Amino acid sequence: MDDWHETEIRVRYAETDKMGIVHHSNYLIWFESGRSDLCRSRGFSYKEMEENDNALMVVAESYCRYKSPAYYEDVLTVRTQVAEIRSRAIRFIYEIFRPADETLLAEGETLHLVTDQNKKVRQIPEIYKERLWAEPVADEQAFPANQAPS
């Protein structure tokens, strides 16, 4: 899979430090936003996995390399991609990019083990493997690009 799923975010004041630079901890939160959006684009949510299939994605590893700072009011793009799916684990990779000046701000990855509600590692249900490798699902509620609602 070579396609990145993109999520746009705007830096909020609360995400910056005294110097006006985004605090490093926010990048992992933005990774989660990108990951959740990618899953929804594939036709499911974390909530569905947990409630319907007793499958919870637990973060086992996280990594972030910071390359350039982000600032209050920056509009950023979180790029998310599935890098690997094993029988009990999923690896996502990320880039955080500022389109205004074409700057890569950070890159990273997370590894998730799938467990049941009792925290026992389990196999990933096939439906989620298939959906994660599939093409994005069209959002039927969205308006077509460049068209206003009637």
- Burial (CB count <10 Å: 0-12, 13-18, 19+), residue 11: buried
| 14-44: pLDDT as tens digits | 999 999 999 999 999 999 999 999 999 999 9
Average pLDDT over residues 61-86: 97
- The structural domains of the chain, with segments of one domain joined by +, span 5-133
Count CB-CB contacts under 10 A for residue 8. Answer: 11
pLDDT per residue as tens digits for the range 113-135: 999 999 999 999 999 999 999 87
Distance (Å, rounded) from C-alpha 106 to C-alpha 113?
Answer: 23
Q: pTM for the full model?
A: 0.87
pLDDT for the residue 2: 60
Q: Which two tokens stand for residue 115?
A: 């467990």
Catalytic residues: 17
DSSP three-state, residue 115: strand
Q: Which CATH code, of 3.10.129.10, 3.90.1200.10, 3.40.50.150, 3.40.50.720, is assigned to 5-133?
A: 3.10.129.10
Q: In the structure, what pLDDT confidence band is assigned to residue 11 with cuts at 50, 70 and 90? A: very high
**CB-based contact 113:19 (threshold 8 Å):** no
Which of 31, 79, 23, 76 minimizes the C-alpha distance to 57?
31
